[in-house]
C-alpha cells in the first residue's frame, strides 16, 4: 500500500486498492473493540487522503484521539500501522509528559530524550531516519510544553522537521496521532444518567478547543472522541486476549475453548469504566493465564488436549469461592485452586482438559466457541 501512496494518482487506483480502501475500517474493527465510530472516522480520513479530494496534506493523516485510558486509542494506532504499512511495529510511541519543560524541545529533536517506542534511536529524529514511513503516536499531548508544541505545529504545516544539527527529516509518509485526556471526564457522565452521550461529547469538544491552539486544531483531519467500554464490549476484549493465549497453547499442541458465559463473567469481574479494557488483561493474567502456566509446569496439560473454560452456578448455601476444576479422561475431577469472586453471584470457572485421540475430530461443546 505504502509504495503507491504518493506516486499513483487517484484516477489510476486499481480494483484491489479500491477494495482495500473501502474495507479498511472493517479490518481494523477486528482489533479495536467498541469504537466503531472512531475507526470509521480514521478510515474515512485515510481514504480521502489517498483519493486526493481533500486539502493538500503534508502528512498522510493527522488525528487527535481524546478519551479515557484503556479504551483503544493506542490499539487503533497499532491497527492503522499494520494496515497501512504491513507491520504494527512501524510505530514510534512518545510519552509527551517527558517534555513538559520549555528546554525539552532539544531533547525531542537534538539530544537523547526519554521516550518509550517500538523503534529506538538517539531521539525522535534518529528513529524517523530508520523508519521512513509509519505511525508516530504522541501520547498525552496536553502535557507538552509550548515550545515542543510549536515545533510539532511546524511539522503539521510543512511536512518536515529540522533537527538540532540542521538536518531535514521528512514526515510526508507518516501518519501522526496525538492522544489526550482533555475533557475525558465528561465521557462517563451518561453512565449516571447525568446527560446524553451527544451532550457529553459536545462538552469534551468545548474543553479541547479551550486547551489547544487554533493553529493546531485547524491542521487536523479529525478530533476523534473514544467512548467508554461497556461490559459487553469488554467480553469481546477478553476474547481477543484469550485468542493470543490460544495461539501460544497451539504451539504446544493444546487447544483452547471458551464459552460466552465465561467471557461475560470476565467482563463483569473486570468492569471499571474509568480504566477501560486494562483491568480485563490484568484479571485474565491473574485468574487464567497464571493458573494455566502453573498447570503446564506441573505437566497437567498434555499435548493433544483441549482446555475448556466455562462457568456454572453455585448453590446459594455453598461457599462463594469459585472452584477451578480440571477434567481429564478416565480420571476424577480435581480441585486445583480457588479464586474469590467480586460479585454476590457465585460461579464456578470450569477449566476442563479433555484428552483427545490424535487425528480424532474434537466435538464442539454446546455454547462454547473456540478462540
pLDDT at 346 over 50: no
Confidence of residue 277 (pLDDT cuts 50, 70, 90): very high
Q: Which of 133-142, 175-184, 252-261, 308-317 has the lowest mean pLDDT?
A: 308-317
The domain that contains 283 carries what CATH number? 1.10.8.60
Assign 3-state DSSP to the chain and report helix, strand, coil percentages, each to 5.
45, 20, 35
- 281-290 contacts: CB < 8 A, separation 24 or more? 281/241, 284/238, 284/241, 284/242, 284/245, 287/339, 287/349, 288/242, 288/245, 288/351, 289/245
pLDDT digits (tens, 9 = 90+) for 179-191: 999 999 999 988 8
Verify that 78 and 205 share a domain, yes or no: yes
Verify that 251 and 338 share a domain, yes or no: yes
Verify that 174 and 238 share a domain, yes or no: no
3-state secondary structure of 334: strand
Q: What is the pLDDT of residue 366?
A: 37
Q: What is the pLDDT of residue 54?
A: 63
Length of the chain: 371
Of 160, 195, 225, the residue at which a domain comes to its end is 225
More confident position, 365 or 222: 222
Verify that 79 and 210 share a domain, yes or no: yes
Q: Which of 55-59, 229-233, 363-367 has the lowest mean pLDDT?
A: 363-367
pLDDT digits (tens, 9 = 90+) for 237-267: 999 999 999 999 899 888 888 888 888 888 8
The domain that contains 94 carries what CATH number? 3.40.50.300
pTM: 0.77
pLDDT at 312 over 90: no
Closest CA to 76 of 36, 28, 40, 20: 28
Q: What is the pLDDT of residue 238?
A: 92
How many domains, the chain?
2
Q: Which of 9-13, 47-51, 63-67, 274-278 has the lowest mean pLDDT?
A: 9-13
Q: What is the pLDDT of residue 12?
A: 52
Confidence of residue 13 (pLDDT cuts 50, 70, 90): low
Range of the domain at 42: 2-225
Verify that 242 and 171 share a domain, yes or no: no
Confidence of residue 57 (pLDDT cuts 50, 70, 90): low
Of 158, 190, 225, the residue at which a domain comes to its end is 225
Amino acid at each position: 500500500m505504502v509504495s503507491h501512496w504518493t506516486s499513483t494518482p487517484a484516477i489510476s487506483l486499481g480494483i484491489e486498492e479500491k477494495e482495500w480502501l473501502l474495507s479498511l475500517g472493517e479490518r481494523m474493527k477486528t482489533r479495536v473493540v467498541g469504537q466503531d465510530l472512531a475507526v470509521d472516522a480514521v478510515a474515512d480520513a485515510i481514504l480521502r487522503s489517498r483519493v486526493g479530494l481533500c486539502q493538500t496534506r503534508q502528512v498522510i493523516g493527522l488525528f487527535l484521539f481524546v478519551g479515557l485510558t484503556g479504551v483503544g486509542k493506542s490499539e487503533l494506532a497499532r491497527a492503522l500501522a499494520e494496515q497501512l504499512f504491513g507491520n504494527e511495529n512501524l510505530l514510534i510511541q512518545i510519552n509527551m509528559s517527558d517534555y513538559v519543560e520549555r528546554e525539552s524541545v532539544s531533547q525531542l529533536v537534538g539530544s537523547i530524550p526519554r521516550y518509550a517506542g517500538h523503534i529506538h534511536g538517539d531521539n525522535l529524529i534518529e528513529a524517523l531516519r530508520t523508519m521512513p514511513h509509519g505511525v508516530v503516536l504522541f501520547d498525552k499531548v496536553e502535557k507538552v510544553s509550548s515550545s515542543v508544541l510549536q515545533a510539532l505545529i511546524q511539522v503539521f504545516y510543512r511536512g518536515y522537521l529540522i533537527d538540532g544539527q540542521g538536518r531535514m527529516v521528512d514526515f510526508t509518509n507518516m501518519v501522526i496521532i496525538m492522544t489526550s485526556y482533555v475533557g475525558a471526564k465528561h465521557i462517563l457522565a451518561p453512565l449516571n444518567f447525568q446527560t446524553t452521550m451527544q451532550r457529553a461529547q459536545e462538552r469534551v469538544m468545548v474543553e479541547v478547543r479551550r486547551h489547544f491552539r487554533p493553529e493546531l486544531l485547524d491542521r487536523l483531519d479529525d478530533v476523534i472522541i473514544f467512548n467508554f467500554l461497556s461490559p459487553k464490549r469488554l467480553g469481546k476484549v477478553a476474547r481477543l486476549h484469550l485468542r493470543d493465549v490460544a495461539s501460544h497453547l497451539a504451539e504446544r499442541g493444546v487447544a483452547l475453548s471458551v464459552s460466552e458465559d465465561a467471557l461475560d463473567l470476565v467482563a463483569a469481574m473486570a468492569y471499571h469504566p474509568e480504566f477501560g479494557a486494562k483491568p480485563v488483561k490484568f484479571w485474565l493474567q491473574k485468574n487464567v493465564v497464571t493458573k494455566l502456566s502453573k498447570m503446564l509446569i506441573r505437566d497437567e496439560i498434555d499435548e493433544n488436549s483441549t482446555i475448556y473454560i466455562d462457568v456454572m452456578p453455585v448453590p446459594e448455601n455453598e461457599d462463594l469461592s469459585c472452584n477451578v476444576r480440571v477434567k481429564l479422561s478416565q480420571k476424577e475431577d480435581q480441585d486445583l485452586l480457588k479464586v474469590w469472586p467480586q460479585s454476590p453471584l457465585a460461579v464456578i470457572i470450569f477449566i476442563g482438559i479433555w484428552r483427545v485421540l490424535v487425528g480424532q475430530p474434537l466435538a464442539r461443546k454446546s455454547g462454547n466457541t473456540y478462540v
